[in-house]
Amino acid sequence: MDPKIEAVLNLQTVREKAHRVLQLAEQGLLNHFDYHPERLDVTVDYVIGIIQRDFGPDRYHEIPPHGRWQHFEVGGVPRIIELLEKWNKEGYEDIEKVRTLVDLFFVSVLLDAGAGDKWSFTEPGTGNVYTRSEGIAVASFYMFLNGDFAGKGFDRKDVVHGEALRNMSVEALYSGFQIDDENNPLVGASARVEVLQKLGSSLLENREIFGSMGRPGGLVEYLSRDGSEKIDYALLWSILQRLLIPIWPSDRTKIAGNPVGDAWPLSVLSKHEATQNEPAETATIQPFHKLTQWLAYSLKVPFERLLSTTWTNAELGTGLPEYRNGGLFVDMGVLSLKPDALQKGLRISGSSLPCFAAGDDEIVEWRAMTVALLDKLHQRILSSGKFGEVKLSLPQVLEAGSWKAGREVAAERRPETKSSPILNSGDGTLF
């Protein structure tokens, strides 16, 4: 692989570039945001308070890492545990349980890039209504159990095959997700289906990892092939990037004609970043790879819980630059849009909240700051001494702290929509 492309795809670059943007923010050099570091202390206290409320005084060790598993428990229903109990009765070995959870988590995560403020899912049988990420989790769960992602003629429904994904129709998603363009719209429904279709093709093209059926769960054998209980997170990351880079929309950033996924030109880097130590073609690119990172975090959990896997180099993962984490820093006053940027966003939205396209420079700058500020938040939480001997990982802070805090402060300030303080007109494949 071209070293320029490889650099943009790796996790170290995500963090290094984001912290360079933070350095520019500290000098007052951002193009669209003002940085108010004096507001970090109150933000840290707010996040710590939420973690203490939900896990104190002695359950901090129980905080799960940020991932998809928890979303399947919405409404107090342990759907994954119930599924594991069912598989026990059917004689599934632990490794097959992990394979099957990997199947489920793959499609569920990649379908979930923001649901918008209007969509909801009514659960069959209970009539419970769920929205946003949890709603997408439950909707995808029922599609999975229904066999909507399984190949024809296969003797199991609870499995995912590349051919079924490649042939998936928009109508199938509309039915499974109860989408109605007038009464129950889902942002970017057709784009999500296209992502799954391309995923199916990519799975089938990587048969040495995912087998002749293109099953995501084939990843389990591949990562465990040496028999060790330790797996390098960097290996998982390289496999996911190889598999997923081809599935993202083709109009995104390219380097030497090759797509690089969730990575974007950023004008503040173009203006201030020295390029003598980096090719000019990549020096101004800020990568994120948010959905791939969230998938990687999610896939770790079944390995750990069912196979007692230990992950090395897991600290390579960064905070997730999406609207809950990013919204926390805006709502708490750590970041504020400069007047010109705010007026531009308000003109675009025609409402009381600014809006930008997902690839706009304003959004990319916001996301870069979010990655770096999540590192600062994590470090301040670790040094706070509030959690005794428990040293919370960044994924634990995302789960119990920043993501939840972002959602709660949004609900307090905008109870009708619970939306982010900055809107984005995404296509359902990014956030």
Please give the pLDDT value at position 281. Answer: 80
Convert the pLDDT of each residue in 251-295 to its tens digit.
899 998 999 999 999 999 998 875 556 777 888 999 999 999 999
Of 250 and 244, which is predicted with more confidence?
244
| pLDDT confidence band for 431 (50 / 70 / 90) | low
Overall number of domains in the chain? 1
Q: Which residues are CB-contacts of 311 (< 8 A; sequence separation ≥ 6)?
A: 230, 231, 232, 233, 236, 300, 303, 304
User: How far is 209 from 203, CA to CA, in rounded Å?
Assistant: 8
Residue tagged 């003598």 (tokens) = 276
Task: Give the SS3 label for residue 20.
Answer: helix
User: How far is 418 from 363, CA to CA, in rounded Å?
Assistant: 19
Beta strands, E only, 348-416: 355-356
Q: Which residues are CB-contacts of 204 (< 8 A; sequence separation ≥ 6)?
A: 162, 163, 166, 210, 214
**Per the domain annotation, does 429 fall within a domain?**
no
**Per the domain annotation, does 168 fall within a domain?**
yes
**Per the domain annotation, does 192 fall within a domain?**
yes
Please give the pLDDT value at position 153. Answer: 82
Q: Report the mean per-residue pLDDT for the chain.
A: 94
Task: Find the mean pLDDT for residues 226-249.
Answer: 94
3-state secondary structure 211-255: CCCCCCCHHHHHHCCCCCCEEEHHHHHHHHHHHHHHHCCCCCCEE
Answer yes or no: are the C-beta atoms of 285 and 263 closer than 8 Å. Answer: yes
**Per the domain annotation, does 431 fall within a domain?**
no
User: How far is 222 from 180, CA to CA, in rounded Å?
Assistant: 40
Convert the pLDDT of each residue in 129-183 to its tens digit.
999 889 999 999 999 999 999 998 888 999 999 999 999 999 999 999 999 999 9
The answer to whether the peptide bond before residue 249 is cis (omega within 30 degrees of 0) is no
pTM as predicted: 0.94
Structural domain boundaries, residue 312: 3-424
**Per the domain annotation, does 222 fall within a domain?**
yes
Tally of CA atoms within 13 A in the half-sphere of 430 that contains its CB = 25
> Containing H/E element for 131?
strand 129-131
Pseudo-torsion of CA 332, 338, 344, 350, nearest 10°? 30
| Short-list 7, 8, 9, 21, CA closest to 374 | 21
**Per the domain annotation, does 415 fall within a domain?**
yes
Answer yes or no: are the C-beta atoms of 139 and 154 closer than 8 Å. Answer: no
Convert the pLDDT of each residue in 33-72 to its tens digit.
999 999 999 999 999 999 999 999 999 999 999 999 999 9
Please give the pLDDT value at position 226. Answer: 82
